[in-house]
Structure 1
Amino acid sequence: MTNSMKVNIILPFVATKPIGGIKIMYQYANELAKRNHLVTIYHSATRYERPNFLPVALRVLLFKLKNQEKPSWFQFHESVESRIVADVTNSTIKDGDVVFSTWWGLAFMVDKLSPSKGNKFNLIQDYEIWKGNTELVHQSYHLPSVHLVIARYLSKLLEDVSGKRPLYLPNAIDLDKFKIEIDPEKRSDATICMLYSEEPRKGTSFGMDALYKLKKLRSDLKIELFSIFKNPGNLPEWITFNYKPTDLRALYNRNAIFFSPSLGEGWALPPAEAMACGCAVVCTDIGGHHDYSIDGETVLLVQVKNPEDMTEKLLKLIEDRERRLSISRNGTNFLLDNFNWQLSVNLLEEYFEKYS
C-alpha cells in the first residue's frame, strides 16, 4: 500500500496492565505508523452494558493524571497519538479512512459511528462468552463491520454462527524483542517456565499440580513462574516467582521448556514468544494453541485438565534432550516463517485497501 491512511484504533478500556489483546492492537498501531499511516488510538472510559461506579468525566481525568494514555508497559512509536475518551461517539472520534477495533461490546458502539470515521474492521481475538453473554456475542458477529479473526478455530466458529467466513489475520511476534540469546543446547534440561494466573481459564491449578508431580520424579527440577498477579506465597524454593517481569526474553532464554496448561485462549502469546526464544513448548490441545502447534514436531500437546498427561509429556522432554532440541528448532523456525509482523501488517493493509 503506497497511500497513507488515517487509522482510528478503538479499544474497549484503558489498559493499566499488560493484556494480550490490547498488546496486539498497540503493536498494529506501531507497525502501521512505521509505514507512514496516521494512527490514533482511542481508549473508551465507558464499557458496553457495564455500569460506571464513578462519573465518566472523573474516570477520564484520573486516567489522564496517571498518564495512562500511553501505558508505561508498552513502547509506542513516536508518531502514534493516543487518547482516553468518555465514550465512543461521533464527537469523540476523528474522521478517518479506517476504524479498527476489538471486543464484541465495542463492535456495537462502533457500529453507530458515522461512515466519515472510516470503514469499520472488527478484530475478534477470542470467543468472548466468559460472562454468559453468548447471545450478544453472536449478535455482534452479524454486524456489518468487516470481521477478522486471529485463529483458524475462530474462523470456523464465526462462519457457523453468522453464515459468513471472516478474514484471517494471524497474530505475530515481535522478533526483534523475542529471540534466542542462549543456545537451547546450553540450557539445563530440567528448567521450565510457566505463566501464573488467577484466571481459572488459564489452567494454573492443573499446571501446578503437574509440576509438583514432576518434582517427585526429577529432584533437579527448577521452575520459573511469571505473572501480573502477586506471589501466592508458600511456594517451595525450587520455584522462582517473577512478578511483572520487565525482561521476558531473558526469562524465556533461561529455560529449556515453556509449559501452557490453559483451558482456553484466543491465540496464546506467551507460548509463541517462548518458542521464538528457543523454548520447547508443551501446551494444551486447544484452539488458541493450534495455529502454531504441530504435535510432536513444533510442540507436545497435552490433554486439558489432565495433570498426569502433562507430567508425562514434560518428563519426556526433560529426559530426551534430542527430542527437546528438535521441537525447539522446529518451533522457532515455524514461528519465524509464519507469524511475523511484516506478513500480518501486509495482510492487514491488503484488507484495508480491498474492503474500503
Structure 2
Amino acid sequence: MKIVIPVLSLETGGTRFIYQLANELVDKGHSVEIVLPEHACVAWPLRAKITRVKELTRDTIPAADFLLPNFYPTVFPAWESKKGRVVRLSLGYEPIWVNEKETALASYLIDAPIISLSQWHRQLILQGTGRDSTIIPGGVDTSIFRPSAKKSLSTGRPVIAYILRSKEHGYTWKGSDDFWEACRQLIQLVPNFELRIVATEGANYQAPLPYEVVNAHSDLEMAQFYAQADIFVSTSYFESFSMPLLEAMACCTAVIATDNGGSRDYTKNGENCLLVPPSDIKQLTHAMAQLLTQAEKRNQLALNGLQFAQPWTWRRSADLLEALLYRLMHT
C-alpha cells in the first residue's frame, strides 16, 4: 500500500517513532513517503522516500492509500487534501501542552481513526475527546540497543545517565529541576558516583555536581550512552510512551523513572525498574541512593529489564499498524 506521512520535522525525540515505523513498513514492501518543509531537519537515516515542499498544504500532500499526519498542524492539510484516507497518528495529546489548545483539540475531532501509543495515552484522548483510538506501541531496535561493558568496571564509580531536555525550548514537563535537586541531596548520601548527560538542545545548567556531557547524535551513540551507565534516570511528568526507558532496559541498564503514564504498559515497579511519583524528589533521591549502594538489586533490575525489552520490537509495532490499515481498507 502507499502511505504518506506529512511531518514538520524529524529531529525531536518523539518523531523517532515515525522514522522507525516508516523504515519497517518499507522493509515489509510498502511504499512510504515522508513529506516535510524544505528546510526541516531529518536527523535519522530513512529508507522511505523523502519529499520536501515549500510548506505543507492540501495541494502539496501527495495522493496515497493512507495519510498519517502526526502533529496537529499537519492534520488539517492532510484532511483537506482528500488525497487518501486520513489516520490521525498521535505521538502525544497536544491539548495538554501546546498553546493552541482549541486547534489541537479540533485535530482529534475530524472523522478519522486515531492511533495512540499506550493505554494511558488512549485514555487521555478518550477523556479529552470522547473518541477511542487504536494502540500501536513504540519499540526498540535490539540489534543496536544492547548490552556492552559498563564504564564503572574500569573506574569503580557507578554511573548515572540522564537525558537533559531544556525548559527554554519548551520542555517544561521533563522534570529537570527535580533531577538536579535530587542530585544535590544524593551527593550528601552517596558521594562516589559519576553523572553523564546527553543535552539534546545543548542546554548547560548550573548543576550541584560536576557532570560529563556526552554527544550522542545517532542511535548507536545513544545505545553506548545507555549501556555504559549503571543507572538511567527519567523524571518526566507525563509521556505518551517514553522510548528511552525501553532502550535503556535493552542495554541492560537499571532504570529509575517517574510514573509518567505512557510507560505503564512495560514498566513494572520493583521488577524491571523503580518507579517514583512525578515531582517526588525525596523518593527519587532514595531510589537513586538505593541502586547506587545495592549492586545486587541494581543488577537484577537491569537483567529483568533486558529480558522484558526483547519482544518490544519495531517490527511488532509495524505489524500492528499494517494490520490496522488493512482492516481500514476493507471498512
Q: Distance in 1 between matches of 2:54 and 2:66?
A: 21
User: 2:61 aligned with 1:88, yes or no?
Assistant: no
Deviations 1:231-275 (A, max 9, x none): 526557741112444411111111110000112222212222111
**Conservation of the 8 A alpha-carbon contact between 1:41 and 1:81:** yes
Give SS of 1:91's match.
coil
Q: 2:251 aligns with which of 266, 272, 277?
A: 277
Alpha carbons of structure 1 residues 189 and 122: separation in structure 2 relative to 1, 3 Å: farther
Q: Would the aligned equivalents of 1:185 and 1:325 in 2 still touch at CA under 8 Å?
A: no
Contact 1:231 1:243 in 2 (8 A): no
Return the letter of the residue paired with 2:193. Answer: L
Q: Which residue of 1 aligns with 2:273?
A: 299
Q: How far apart in 2 are the matches of 1:99 and 1:230?
A: 34
Q: Contact 2:64/2:84 (CA < 8 Å) preserved in 1?
A: yes
**1:138 and 2:105 equivalent?**
yes
1:1-356 superposed matches below 5 A: 5-11=1-7, 13-15=8-10, 18-43=11-36, 45=37, 60=38, 63=39, 71=42, 73-77=43-47, 80-114=48-82, 117-129=83-95, 130-182=97-149, 190-198=158-166, 199-232=171-204, 235=207, 238-246=210-218, 247-337=221-311, 339-356=312-329
By how many angstroms is 1:200 displaced?
Answer: 2.0
Cross-structure match for 1:56: none
Shift in Å, 1:211: 1.3
* Mapped contact 1:257–1:282 kept (Cα < 8 A): yes
Return the letter of the residue paired with 2:78: V
Q: Taking structure 1 as reference, are residues 223 and 212 closer, same or farther at Cα in structure 2, changes over 3 Å only?
A: same
Contact 1:189–1:256 (CA under 8 A) maintained in structure 2? no
Q: 1:189 to 1:322 in 2, by over 3 A?
A: farther
Give, as a single letter, the amino acid of the residue that structure 2 aligns with 1:161: G
**What secondary structure does 1:126 align onto?**
coil
Q: Report the RMSD for the aligned CA atoms in angstroms.
A: 2.2
Preserved contact between residue 189 and residue 318 of structure 1 (Cα < 8 Å): no
Contact residue 229 and residue 243 of structure 1 kept, 8 A: no
**What residue ranges of structure 1 are gaps of 5+ in the alignment?**
46-59
In structure 2, the gaps of 5 or more residues are none
Distance 1:306 1:6, change over 3 A: same
* Distance (whole Å) between structure 2 residues aligned to residue 184 and residue 329 of structure 1: 17
Q: Equivalents in 1 of 2:235, 2:187: separation in Å? A: 17
Q: Which amino acid aligns with 1:150?
A: L
Q: Distance in 1 between matches of 2:321 and 2:67?
A: 12
Structure 1 SS opposite 2:247: helix
- Count of aligned pairs: 321
Q: State the Cα deviation string for residues 75-95 of structure 1 (Å, max 9, x = none).
A: 122xx2102223334432222
2:274 partner SS: strand
Match of 1:49 in 2: none
CA distance in 2 between counterparts of 1:183 and 1:305 reads 29
CA contact under 8 A between 1:14 and 1:84: conserved in structure 2?
no
- Residue identity matched to 2:14: G
Amino acid at match of 1:208: W
- Given the superposition, is the C-alpha separation of residues 165 and 211 from structure 1 closer, same or farther in structure 2, using an over 3 Å criterion? same
Distance 1:131 1:7 in 2: 27
Distance in 2 separating the partners of 1:235 and 1:242: 16
Determine the C-alpha separation between the residues in 2 that align with 1:275 and 1:128.
27
Q: Which residue of 2 aligns with 1:57?
A: none
SS in 2 for 1:82: strand
Query: 1:58-99: per-residue Cα shift (whole Å, max 9, x none)?
Result: xx4xx2xxxx57x2x31122xx21022233344322222111
8 Å Cα contact 1:221-1:238 kept in structure 2: no
Distance in 2 (alpha carbons) for counterparts of 1:224 and 1:184: 11
Partner letter of residue 324 of structure 2? Y
Report the Cα distance in structure 1 between the residues aligned to 2:270 and 2:208, rounded to whole angstroms. 31
